Amino acid sequence: MMMTSESAVLHALRCIGSAEAGRVATAAGLAEADAESELIDLAVAGLVTHDRGPFGGWTITPAGKAADAARVAAELDAAGAREVVAGVYDRFLGLNQELLELCTAWQTRSVDGAIVPNDHADAAYDDRVLGLLDEFAPRADAVCAELAAVLPRFGRYATRLGGAVARVGAGERQYFVDDLEAYHTVWFQLHEDLLVTLGIPR
Amino acid sequence: MRWVRPLAADLADPVGVIGAKAGGLVLLRRLGLPVPEGFVVTTAACRAFRRDGRPPAGLREELVAAVAGVEAATGRRLGGVPPLAVSVRSGAEVSMPGMMSTVLGLGLTTAATGALAAETGDPGFALDSRRRFLASSAAAGVAHLPDDAVEQLERAVGAVFASWDSPRARTYRTLHGIPHDLGTAVVVQAMVFGNRDDRSAGGVAFSRDPTTGEPGPFGEVVFRGQGDDAVAGAAATLPLDELRVREPGAWAELRGALERIEAHHRDACSVELTVESGALWFLQVRREGSGGAAAVRVATDLVDEGVIGRDEALLRLSARHLRDARVPRIAPGAEVDVLARGVGACPGVAVGRVATSADGAVRMAVEGPVVLVRPETSPLDVHGIGAAAGVVTARGGPAGHAAVVARSMGRPAVVGVAGLVVEDGVVRVGGRVVAEGALVGVDGGSGVVVLGRPPVVEAGDDDRLARVLGWADAVAGDARARPDVERLAAAHAVLRARAASAGR
């Protein structure tokens, strides 16, 4: 079962947090103008709101969260996918710990037990971490593929994660952790999506 | 014996064979310090186990013989009366903290637990020890052990060997450039029980404070607990000073021991310890590294104490130590009102008004700096972290989403603050209530959160750092103004060239 674009936009915003229309469109797999049009309709319905200002953007309202939770639960049951998603989620948690340790290894080094920022001066070390990310990525793709087989919207995560890891490989290393479309950023949203989909409180 | 060595003062095998933990225990024996009876299964046995998928021929017989040695020395019997229980711990050549398995209290079969209860007259203690045994063996992947003590031991040693290949351990080795084929040794020792009675405790002790370098002893203890409780942060720990108050004999012995170990290493050190009914035992010793500011202090103090020379002090410091020493932190020893302690996840100090929601942080940040305090973080909090100057969370560790995001944005962060509750615009922690808008300071290096604006030590305030850099310039014969790291590197180049020519 496919979600309507309105529901897809609402759910994307629920998982990515505060964002401009362009990021919502990327997450939902829509053109920016279409995403923006849906956001405006959702705002009229009181499900999302827009703030100006340096840290503003579109955000979901409490009513929007409730509506999204109901739609996502209905979609999960209509697809008969609860068991599959719950099973994949258990494996996701193992991968999650591994990825977070890789991100931490990328950001920090331990100097005699104290955490200090990784200054990225040791190319051999950085290459080892990136090598581990390359080993990790196919296992993450497999998880996304299993989810997408029962709920097609999860296919967006494989696309976005694949894009991030390719850009890291091409030397744009901010796409590991630091960018708004970085590997960890997208993974963190996938984590949120699984929690929302299964109705698990964080 | 081929695979097993007793932990004796005259054991001469290198750490490549017996592992760093056993090497440290042998050192403690040589220094005349109390170490529980035990033996070590070598890394060669681990390599054979990994190659063949089963324990090497002859290992079982050697374990039985080594256990007999411990039984003779302690007057106890594994699986018999009076009961002997042992700890089974990993110990590779290169320390891999927390990456491999440990089994505590092995030998506490149903019958042995009954015997321990009868012997001590304390069934609660015996059952607590049995519970710890079952929990640690389950965590090591050897649940449902047979009620036979030698069989248990062989299985536990195999589980520790197998834990060398756990995914986490493999990742750790890849990151730290440790070869995957080394294997781990396994240290088996008679249990000493920090959970024995009110005069028993487990803990860790540092000869100098690892966050400031101040002369100690410093550390943490858990009364009626095991050392692992303190290391893992699993139980509520007390400052080590509590040991001085409650067990002055053990405290005095500990001080003397730390002095002796420091004199041997000519460096700061740490020990894992257990006090059993007032008697002190050592379970592990390490030369202790510390963060940048602490490392600079330890190096200059050791020079002032006449323990090491200036050249050696310079060689012990790295570019990373110097960079870390320049990171702002709450001034050591300052009078501050500590609100909470957690785990420092992104070094630096942030001072701002408490916001309890991401939207609140965005709103309040217009007026001035904000510290975002959350139970956990989700993507819905990320714009709040962006708006905030610092972050505090109740849950999560240094490798959690919150920590990763805070570091990616360069926000000082303290995570894993136990007992912190965020509700209705207020923060509750440690029996206190802090309203949204209250001013707090966050030290993302030490993991401390204070009420009010704390005094902060900024770059260059540290006269010890200035002294070290002065020594570096003298060695290099170059006093031009340059970055710290270059001054140290120039001194290192001269000292290494000198060492190389002296060695020729």
Does B383 contact A57 at a Cβ distance shorter than 8 Å?
yes
Cis ω for the linkage preceding B217 (within 30 of 0):
yes
What would the pLDDT profile of B421-442 be if each residue is shown by its tens digit?
A: 999 899 999 899 999 999 999 9
Do B457 and B354 form a contact (C-beta atoms < 8 A)? no
Find the range with the poorest average confidence among B78-82, B352-356, B456-460: B456-460
Task: Find the distance separating the first CA and the last CA of chain B, reported in whole Å.
Answer: 40
Q: Which of A18, A99, A133 best tests the B interface by mutation, with the highest count of B CBs <10 A?
A: A18
Between residues B332 and B154, which one has the greater pLDDT? B154
B229 at A interface, C-beta within 8 A: no
Based on the domain organization, do A112 and A68 belong to the same domain?
Answer: no
Give the pLDDT score at A115: 73
Residue B235 has pLDDT above 60, yes or no: no
Based on the domain organization, do A55 and A16 belong to the same domain?
Answer: yes
A130 at B interface, C-beta within 8 A: no
Q: Which of the listed CATH numbers 3.30.70.100, 3.40.640.10, 3.30.1490.20, 3.30.2350.10 matches domain B4-190? A: 3.30.1490.20
All structural domains of chain B with their residue ranges: 4-190, 201-287, 292-326+461-503, 329-457
Q: Which of B401, B411, B414, B415 best tests the A interface by mutation, with the highest count of A CBs <10 A?
A: B401
CATH code, domain with A41: 1.10.10.10
Q: How far apart are CA B399 and CA B134, in angstroms?
A: 28
Based on the domain organization, do A89 and A178 belong to the same domain?
Answer: yes
What domain range includes position A114? 80-198
What would the pLDDT profile of B276-311 be if each residue is shown by its tens digit?
A: 999 999 999 998 777 788 899 999 999 999 999 999
Give the pLDDT score at B233: 47
Based on the domain organization, do A72 and A88 belong to the same domain?
Answer: no
Q: Which of A186, A166, A164 is nearest to A175 (CA)?
A: A164
Based on the domain organization, do A31 and A114 belong to the same domain?
Answer: no
Based on the domain organization, do A119 and A26 belong to the same domain?
Answer: no
Q: How confident is the model at residue B253 (pLDDT cuts 50, 70, 90)?
A: very high
Is this prediction's ipTM beyond 0.90?
yes
Give the pLDDT score at B231: 53
Based on the domain organization, do A127 and A181 belong to the same domain?
Answer: yes
Give the pLDDT score at B220: 86
Based on the domain organization, do A69 and A139 belong to the same domain?
Answer: no
Q: Hey, which residues does B282 pair with through a beta bridge?
A: B273
Q: How confident is the model at residue B212 (pLDDT cuts 50, 70, 90)?
A: confident
Low-confidence stretches of chain A (pLDDT < 50) are: none
Based on the domain organization, do A59 and A26 belong to the same domain?
Answer: yes
Give the pLDDT score at A113: 64
- From B347, B387, B398, residue closest to A116, measured CB to CB: B347
Do B383 and A17 form a contact (C-beta atoms < 8 A)? yes
Does B320 contact A109 at a Cβ distance shorter than 8 Å?
yes
Q: How confident is the model at residue B228 (pLDDT cuts 50, 70, 90)?
A: low
A202 at B interface, C-beta within 8 A: yes
- State what percent of residues in chain B have pLDDT above 70: 97
Give the pLDDT score at B141: 85
Q: What is the mean pLDDT of chain B?
A: 92
- From B290, B366, B380, residue closest to A113, measured CB to CB: B290
How many domains in chain A?
Answer: 2
Q: Of the residues A38, A61, A76, which one is the last residue of a structural domain?
A: A76
DSSP string, chain A: -PPPHHHHHHHHHHHH-SB-HHHHHHHHTS-HHHHHHHHHHHHHTTSEEEE-STT-EEEE-HHHHHHHHHHHHHHHHHTT-HHHHHHHHHHHHHHHHHHHHHHHHHHEEEETTEEEE--S--HHHHHHHHHHHHHHHHHHHHHHHHHHHH-GGGHHHHHHHHHHHHHHHTT-GGGTTTSTTSHHHHHHHHHHHHHHHHT---
Q: Which of B270, B317, B320 best tests the A interface by mutation, with the highest count of A CBs <10 A?
A: B320
Give the pLDDT score at B96: 86
Q: What is the mean pLDDT of chain A?
A: 93
Based on the domain organization, do A59 and A130 belong to the same domain?
Answer: no
What would the pLDDT profile of B445-460 be if each residue is shown by its tens digit?
A: 889 999 999 999 876 6
Does A16 contact B408 at a Cβ distance shorter than 8 Å?
no
Nearest CA in chain B to A119: B320
Q: Homologous superfamily of B329-457 in CATH?
A: Phosphohistidine domain (3.50.30.10)
Q: Of the residues A50, A76, A102, which one is the last residue of a structural domain?
A: A76
Based on the domain organization, do A94 and A123 belong to the same domain?
Answer: yes
Q: How far apart are CA B147 and CA B109, in angstroms?
A: 5
> Do strands B215-223 and B238-239 pair parallel, antiparallel, or not at all (unpaired)?
antiparallel
Based on the domain organization, do A71 and A114 belong to the same domain?
Answer: no
Fold of B201-287: D-amino Acid Aminotransferase; Chain A, domain 1 (3.30.470)
Query: 């570091």: which residue's tokens?
Result: B407
